[in-house]
Amino acid sequence: MTLTFTDTTEDIIDLHVVTAQDLDSWLNSADARTRTWVETFGFTAAKGQAVLIPAQDGTASLALAGLGNDRDRRRGRFLLSAAAKSLPLGTYRIASDMAQAQLETECLGWLLARYHFDRYKPGASNVPGLVAPSTIDAGRIEAIAAGEALTRDLINTPASDMGPAELETAARDLANTHGATCDVIVGDDLIMQNFPMIHAVGRASPRAPRLIDMRWGSTGPKLTLVGKGVCFDTGGLDLKPAASMGLMKKDMGGSATVLGLAHMIMSLGLPLQLRVLIPAVENAVSGNAFRPQDVLQSRKGLTVEVNNTDAEGRLVLADALALADEEETDLIISMATLTGAARVAVGPDLAPFYTDDDTHATALTSAASQVADPVWRMPFHEPYEAMIEPGIADLNNAPKGGFAGSITAALFLRRFVDRAPYMHFDIYGWQPSAAPARPVGGVGQGARAVLAALHAMLDL
């Protein structure tokens, strides 16, 4: 699905965007006929409300879209896209002045509102077209929308059609589109090339585990993105209960998000050297599955006692992070649907992130609010290090009690990065109920915030 601006010069309807507070002053400067029509219609500029105003001859003269009041806008984002949905199909042009960042966000929201997952049930979007405002970089917004659509498509595709091999294909397709390289280590070669934990987690599935390694760009600072690619998480032998397993096709949401972000970076031609690492596995149940209390060797040499095979994400990510950190890198970012604890702590709308670098944290937080991609900083709280240290190995993948589950998972991952600055996102990757520009289903989190913060974080 392509989410683009409408390229036409014909039959364009001017769309005036008004807040509830501004409606009166807008009406005061309108002609009497328009005022009467707006009042007859009952338009109050409530969020999601829109009205088309006819000319004398019955054609569309202009349209009004409501952005609601201050509270509505604090509570929600992409509110223009909600109003766009209630407009008749056609092509619209935003005719109101808006701050640049808000205009870009609302345009992106409009494009994203056109997204629907149509792989198994084709259908047209019911959202009208939007002409790109002349003051924004339309190609940039389209690249961001395309990256987000890729993320959503990958997450929404069920595990039957999105196993490790299909995730590899998606990465290869993306690499081909942008002239990137893509190397993949599959199955028993993971043992030969020293990725023992990726192999251990993925070996029970007939769909072979693999490590996807994509590179793009030859000059500039080095950025490595690492994404959790668990194509389905049954929990392994510590099997998840049905209610918890239900959504686990989304357990490759971290990899889907880093691929979407990679698309944005490469389309925009950012002056950096990008590497994307995705351990792609299915956490399955079988006679040869890894077991509770097994002790695994890791690539880095640290030993790991498996106290729950359902804490598999940190195992596969650890080997990928160790590889990432073997070369000089300016920033390593991991993204993963890593813990249920993160979901409990901040819910589905906020992306919790960890970093030791206060400057990076500040840059990310302010970029996130500029681009309406909310994030929340969490602490690498050192006193909890003891919780991930069991008796008989260097590390424990599943501390008892579940205290601070997202923090202990993040601390576990940090043990595998010694050299580069490290940032980690424990995302949810799923929109549980429909919101403006975000239908129920897979959703990217943090990618647009990272994109907007890269200039500051990498001195681009």
Phi-psi region of 374 (alpha: psi -120 to 50; beta: other; left: phi over 0): beta
Partner interacting with residue 414 (select from Zn ion, ligand BES, none; CB below 5-8 Å by kind): none
Q: Determine the interface stretch with ligand BES among 50-58, 79-87, 289-297, 307-315 (rule: CB under 6 A).
A: 307-315
> Are 420 and 434 spatial neighbours (Cβ–Cβ below 8 Å)?
no
- 337 near ligand BES (CB under 6 A): yes
Strand partners, 142: none
Nearest of 381, 391, 390, 389 to residue 411 by alpha carbon? 381
Which string of DSSP letters, residue by residue, matches 349-380? T-EEEEES-HHHHHHHHHHHHHTT--EEEE--
- Residue 72 site contact among Zn ion, ligand BES, none (CB < 5 to 8 Å, cut-off depends on kind): none
Contact predicate 365/377, CB 8 Å: yes
Residues 76-115 as x/- pattern, contact with Zn ion by CB under 5 A: ----------------------------------------
DSSP for 263-330 reads: HHHHHTT-SSEEEEEEEEEEE--STT---TT-EEE-TTS-EEE-S-TT--HHHHHHHHHHHHTTS--S
Q: Which does 373 bind (CB under 5 to 8 A by kind): Zn ion, ligand BES, none?
A: none
According to DSSP, the residues that pair with 296 across neighbouring strands are 304
State both tokens at 323: 């590889």
Per CB under 6 A, 339 contacts ligand BES: yes
If residue 25 lies in a helix (H) or strand (E), which one and from where to where?
helix 23-28
The interface region with ligand BES, picked from 39-47, 148-156, 167-175, 309-317 by CB under 6 A, is 309-317
Per-position DSSP letters for 114-146, written without gaps between them: T----SSS-----SPEEPPPTTS-HHHHHHHHH
Q: Which is nearer to ligand BES, 33 or 400 (CB)?
A: 400
| Residue 279: contacted member of ligand BES, Zn ion, none (CB under 5 to 8 Å, by partner type) | none
Please, what is the minimum distance in Å from the beta carbon of residue 236 to Zn ion? 7
Would you say 353 and 424 are in contact if contact means Cβ atoms under 8 Å apart? yes
Question: Active-site residue 240, yes or no?
Answer: yes
For ligand BES, give the closer residue by CB, 322 or 387. Answer: 387
Scanning 95-103, 245-253, 346-354, 429-437 for contacts with Zn ion by CB under 5 A, the matching segment is 245-253
Least distance to Zn ion, CB of residue 231, Å: 10
Instruction: Out of 203, 207, 343, 414, name the contact with ligand BES by CB under 6 A.
Output: 343
Q: Which residues between 275 and 314 bind Zn ion (CB under 5 A)? A: 310, 312-313
User: Dihedral, CA atoms, 304, 377, 68, 20, nearest 10 degrees?
Assistant: 180
State which residue, 142 or 251, has the beta carbon closest to ligand BES: 251
CA atoms of 411 and 382, how far apart (whole Å): 8
Q: Which of 104, 106, 168, 312 binds ligand BES (CB under 6 A)?
A: 312
Instruction: Supply the minimum distance, in Å, between the C-beta of residue 455 and Zn ion.
Output: 32
Q: Looking at 152, 314, 414, 438, which residue is catalytic?
A: 314
Q: Which helix (H) or strand (E) holds 210?
A: strand 210-216
Please tell me whether residue 373 binds ligand BES under the rule CB under 6 A.
no
Catalytic annotation present for 314: yes
Among 148, 166, 168, 251, binds ligand BES (CB under 6 A): 251
Stretch 395-454 residues interacting with ligand BES (CB under 6 A): 398, 405, 428
- 422 versus 428: smaller Cβ distance to ligand BES: 428
Residue 211 bridge partners (DSSP): 185, 279
Q: Mask of contacts with ligand BES, 82-111, x by CB under 6 A?
A: ------------------------------
Query: Closest separation between CB of residue 24 and Zn ion, Å?
Result: 52
Alpha carbons 225 and 331: distance in angstroms, whole number = 9
Q: How far is the CB of 408 from Zn ion (least distance, A)?
A: 14
Between 203 and 448, CB nearer to Zn ion: 203
- 13 close to 93: Cβ distance less than 8 angstroms: yes
Contact residue for ligand BES among 72, 233, 305, 373 (CB under 6 A):
233
| CA-wise closest residue to 407 among 386, 434, 430 | 386
Catalytic residue among 73, 93, 215, 240: 240
7 φψ region: left (φ > 0), alpha (ψ -120 to 50), beta (else): beta
Residues acting as catalytic residues: 240, 314
Point out which residues bind ligand BES (CB under 6 A): 233, 251, 308, 310-313, 337-341, 343, 398, 405, 428
Point out which residues bind Zn ion (CB under 5 A): 230, 233, 251, 310, 312-313
